Amino acid sequence: MYKRHDLLWLTRAGWQAALDGHPEHLAVFSYWRDEEWPVAVRRHDAGINPGQEVCVGLSLPPDAQGRQQRIGWRVPTSCVERSGPPLTLKAARPALPADWRPGYTRLQELAVGLDLRVYGALAWQALTSLPIITPASTIDILLRPVSRHQLQAGLALLSGPEHGLPLDGEIMFPNGDAVAWKAWPGADTTRELVLVKTLTQVRMADPADLLATLKR
């Protein structure tokens, strides 16, 4: 039903269930609810009830030591008011630090015809206006190809020198299987197994099986 990194907006009942189950996060959950901010789908915990629950999370500004803070929990699927994909490049742009903007503009210009989405620190800062980006942050890009041509074009863009940005992220294939895009170059020719993340598991997979989900 959902894929990792999808955005979910919870009902009031969903937030109340979160508050009841995790009173230690009262302040955060109450604030998130009142601001009507979304949460993001994460990989399912062991023992989850498929179809009736979904694992979600949110990111907070770094702590005093600069460590990223995340909160994860489960919500009933009946408490999801609406859902959507991760942010587009355009939607995430307002949260960019000034020194990333020139390269990001170039990335947008070169990404025409590609489905690139943003998650991670930049996305959370764009969604909430909270100071989540740090000097150590990267821009997490989700490349969502539907064809082999889009896969190759997207990889060439993300790994190329044209934008000069600190990029990281994943390729998400049409079936929801995701591979770190930095780990992909060459894997499709050497046939070395790659680490795949799905909504329910982490496994090793043959690149040929992933390529088979794309149009030629």
> pTM for this structure?
0.96
pLDDT at 60 over 90: yes
How high is the mean pLDDT of the chain? 96
Backbone phi, psi, residue 158, to 5°: -65, -35
pLDDT at 65 over 90: no
pLDDT at 187 over 90: no
pLDDT at 190 over 90: no
Domain ranges of the chain: 7-84, 87-211
User: What pLDDT sits at residue 50?
Assistant: 83
The pLDDT tens digits for 119-134 are 999 999 999 999 999 9
With cut-offs at 50, 70 and 90, classify the pLDDT of residue 66.
confident
Asked if residue 147 lies in contact with residue 154, where contact means CB atoms within 8 angstroms, the answer is: no
Q: What angle do CA 168, 170, 174 make, to 5 degrees?
A: 155
Asked if residue 116 lies in contact with residue 150, where contact means CB atoms within 8 angstroms, the answer is: no
Residue 168, Cβ neighbours under 10 Å: how many? 15
Place of tokens 């609810």: 33
Structural element, H or E, at residue 188: helix 187-190
Among the listed residues 139, 63, 155, 65, the one whose alpha carbon sits nearest the alpha carbon of residue 99 = 139
What residues contact 154, with CB distance under 8 A and at least 6 apart?
114, 116, 143, 145, 171, 181
Among the listed residues 155, 211, 201, the one whose alpha carbon sits nearest the alpha carbon of residue 181 = 155
